[in-house]
Structure 1
Amino acid sequence: MMSVKKLQVIGHRGLPSLYPENTIPSFVAAAQLGVDAIEFDVHPTRDGQLVVTHDATLERCSNGHGRVRDMSLAELRELDFGSWKNSAFADTRIPTLEEAIEAILAVRSDMFLLVELKDTSEDVALQVLDYLRRRELLSQVMALSFHTRLMKLYRELEPTLPLQGFPDRYLKEPLPDAYDIINKTCIWTHEITAEEVAFFHARDIAVDVCPVDNAEALDKVLPCGMDSITTNAANVILPILKQRGLR
């Protein structure tokens, strides 16, 4: 188990406390702050492109309407993915998977990436994997999904690729052997216990907790012995950890 003094900090969708989530400004800011890894979400477009956004629909994080997968990349590029956060981010565009990764690696070439598959399609999962292979990024990527079927597919195709799953109660598709194929799991901050962390550690599965966005949340989770924290507010958490001698 990773020492608490080396507790990994993952930027959840970049730095959404200050920037529009899952956008290049958010990713660049998180990388510049010094997080250990950045997590983001991938969806397909109607014309077979891969874009980075969390929701399957457009309403929450843009001025668009409908499903991401029903629109072409060109149509998505016309939408504003920043003004919902603050007018200072007006006209921020949705990034493709390639653009998001290149922006992050331009800041830090060895940044670890957590790529979440939001779509249920195996074809989309294979498209993501093909890009990661061609870009030679498998050594600095962990794939994650609530769809265990996709994690099993990745395990068969890339036996050494790190995979993150979730406790059975969170899964879209619970399978009896779900814990046999993952290297890491993620437990919500309000639910995590030392007992559940020990359960996963006994199975050689690392544990992340999400979200940890302030000192109160950090105080709650630290005694549980997890291996990493995922935060929406790395600008808040990193200074606290440093002040406490945990970085």
Structure 2
Amino acid sequence: MLWTQNENNILVAGHRGNPTQFPENTLISFQSAIDVGVDMLELDIQMTKDEQLVIIHNHTVDATTNGTGYVKDMTLNELRALDAGIQHNGKYSGVKIPLFKEFLDLIKPYKNLLFDFELKEYPVHGNQERAYQTADTVISLIEEYNLTDRCVLNAFSSKLLYYIHQKYNGRFKLHGYYPKSLLSPEPGHNPYDFLYCACVCEDFIRTTFDNLKNQGIDTWVGTRFKDRSSIQLAHECGATLITCDNPVEVLSILKDMGLHQ
């Protein structure tokens, strides 16, 4: 049974896979996170110069590869020529930036796995068409692979989330953030009217979480919740999912506390 998260069954999402042990947002990182038993995989999607969907977080390749430059200015072949294994001292030299479609093929056998697809192309001035095209192409593949009921679509853009909500008639679970200012809310709509969940990024008190839940928004937390004391705080606040860089440790702690089924 999917989407069973609650305050006493806190789900675990591998943030870009299992990045403490493998290069982030790579197929080996995702496979590792699956193997250690995460409930969900979180990943970041951008579009190349030649309109291919790739998985990478930063808008430039500088921090996670041996190259330099903006993802949007590079072709798929140029990106694939880079080494995305540099974060672990050359241990995984030769690892490539994956295509989104390669990821979708990887996860085919795992029928109970959930997904948090973060869209990194925002409809800011000069990038509106590109942002909407990226979202639509991602959604087309989600539907092709029958993942609509197993994913949330995530963005730091209220405008993009509203576009998806309107165009697809509320069919997709949408992931936003607290406080609302992180979403750059647009005049004319309140993102909290159509979010499925929000990652709480400050004000870690019970009232914050209860206020969101009273609006019908599930309350998730991020990578700062990574050890026993912080996970205890997350539980006391009312978190139902933790997105983490260290899924092995977080899963172990939650199970020891009786908070992961």
Deviation for aligned residue 1:104: 2.7
Could you tell me how far apart the structure 1 residues matched to 2:184 and 2:78 are?
29
Superposition pairs for residues 213-224 of structure 1, below 5 Å?
A: 213-224=226-237
Q: In the alignment, which of 141, 147, 162 is matched to residue 137 of structure 1?
A: 147
Q: Which residue number corresponds to residue 153 of structure 1?
A: 163
Q: Which residue number corresponds to residue 111 of structure 1?
A: 113
Code of the residue aligned with 1:220 in structure 2: it is L
Asked whether 1:127 is paired with 2:129, we answer: no
1:43–1:53 CA contact under 8 A, matched in 2: yes
**Superposition RMSD in Å:** 1.6
Deviation for aligned residue 1:173: 4.2
Deviation for aligned residue 1:142: 0.8
Could you tell me how far apart the structure 2 residues matched to 1:74 and 1:151 are?
30
Q: Which runs of 4+ in 1 moved over 2 A?
A: 1-5, 172-176
Could you tell me how far apart the structure 1 residues matched to 2:209 and 2:99 are?
35
Q: Which residue number corresponds to residue 212 of structure 2?
A: 200
Deviation for aligned residue 1:88: 1.2
1:141–1:162 CA contact under 8 A, matched in 2: yes
Asked whether 1:81 is paired with 2:84, we answer: yes
Could you tell me how far apart the structure 2 residues matched to 1:191 and 1:92 are?
38
Could you tell me how far apart the structure 2 residues matched to 1:129 and 1:41 are?
14
Which structure 2 residue ranges, 5 or more long, are not aligned? 123-130
Superposition pairs for residues 1-247 of structure 1, below 5 Å?
A: 2-106=5-109, 108-120=110-122, 121-158=131-168, 159-167=170-178, 168-175=180-187, 176-188=189-201, 191-211=203-223, 212-247=225-260
Could you tell me how far apart the structure 2 residues matched to 1:100 and 1:172 are?
30
- CA displacement, residues 156-211 of structure 1 (integer Å, 9 cap, x when unaligned): 232221111112121244554111111100012x6422111011001010010001
Code of the residue aligned with 2:144 in structure 1: it is R
Which structure 1 residue ranges, 5 or more long, are not aligned? none
Could you tell me how far apart the structure 1 residues matched to 2:79 and 2:60 are?
11
3-state SS in 1 of match to 2:236: helix
How many residues were matched structurally?
Answer: 245
Could you tell me how far apart the structure 2 residues matched to 1:46 and 1:90 are?
25
Deviation for aligned residue 1:79: 0.3
1:24–1:100 CA contact under 8 A, matched in 2: yes
2:42–2:117 CA contact under 8 A, matched in 1: yes
What's the TM-score, normalizing by structure 2?
0.89
- CA displacement, residues 55-104 of structure 1 (integer Å, 9 cap, x when unaligned): 00111111110101110111101000012223111111000111112223
Could you tell me how far apart the structure 2 residues matched to 1:200 and 1:41 are?
25
Change (3 A) 1:174 1:234: farther
What's the TM-score, normalizing by structure 1?
0.94
3-state SS in 2 of match to 1:84: helix
